[in-house]
Amino acid sequence: MPELPEVETIRRGLAKRLIEQKIKNVKVYENKSFLVGSNNRAWLDGSIIKDVKRRAKVLIIELENEYTLLFHLKMTGQVIYRHSGSEIIDEGNFAAGHPTGDWLMELPNKSTRVEFEFEDHSKLFFNDQRKFGWIKLLSTPQVMEVKFLNELGPEIVDFSQNPIPDKIKESTYKEFIGRARHHGNSSIKAVILDQKVIAGIGNIYADEGLWGAKIHPATLVKNLNDRELRKLLREAKSSMTRSIESGGSTMQTFVNADGSRGNYLELFANVFRREGQPCPRCGTEIIKIRVAGRGTHICPKCQKMK
Q: Please pick, from the candidates 193, 224, 279, 298, the single residue that binds Zn ion as defined by CB under 5 A.
A: 279
β partners of residue 96 = 79
**Which listed residue (169, 273, 294, 301) is catalytic?**
294
Q: Under the criterion CB under 5 A, does residue 213 sit at the interface with Zn ion?
A: no
Q: Please pick, from the candidates 281, 287, 289, 294, the single residue that binds Zn ion as defined by CB under 5 A.
A: 281
Task: Write the DSSP string, 222-277.
Answer: GGS-HHHHHHHHHHHHHHHHHHHHTT---SS-EE-TTS-EE-THHHH-SSTT-TTS
Q: Under the criterion CB under 5 A, does residue 305 sit at the interface with Zn ion?
A: no
Name residues whose C-beta falls within 8 Å of residue 255's C-beta, 6 or more positions apart in sequence: 95, 99, 101, 103, 104, 261
Stretch that binds Zn ion, among 75-83, 163-171, 231-239, 292-300 (CB under 5 A): 292-300
Span between the terminal Cα atoms of the chain, in Å: 31
* Shortest CB 281 distance to Zn ion, Å: 5
Determine the 3-state secondary structure of 193 from DSSP: helix
Q: Please pick, from the candidates 79, 188, 233, 299, the single residue that binds Zn ion as defined by CB under 5 A.
A: 299
**Which listed residue (57, 113, 123, 237) is catalytic?**
57
Hey, what's the torsion of the CAs at 98, 101, 104, 108, to 10 degrees?
-80
**Which listed residue (3, 8, 208, 235) is catalytic?**
3
* Shortest CB 206 distance to Zn ion, Å: 17
Asked if 2 is an active-site residue, the reply is yes
DSSP assignment letter at 44: T
Residues 233-272 as x/- pattern, contact with Zn ion by CB under 5 A: ----------------------------------------
Q: Which residues bind Zn ion (CB under 5 A)?
A: 279, 281-282, 284, 299, 301-302
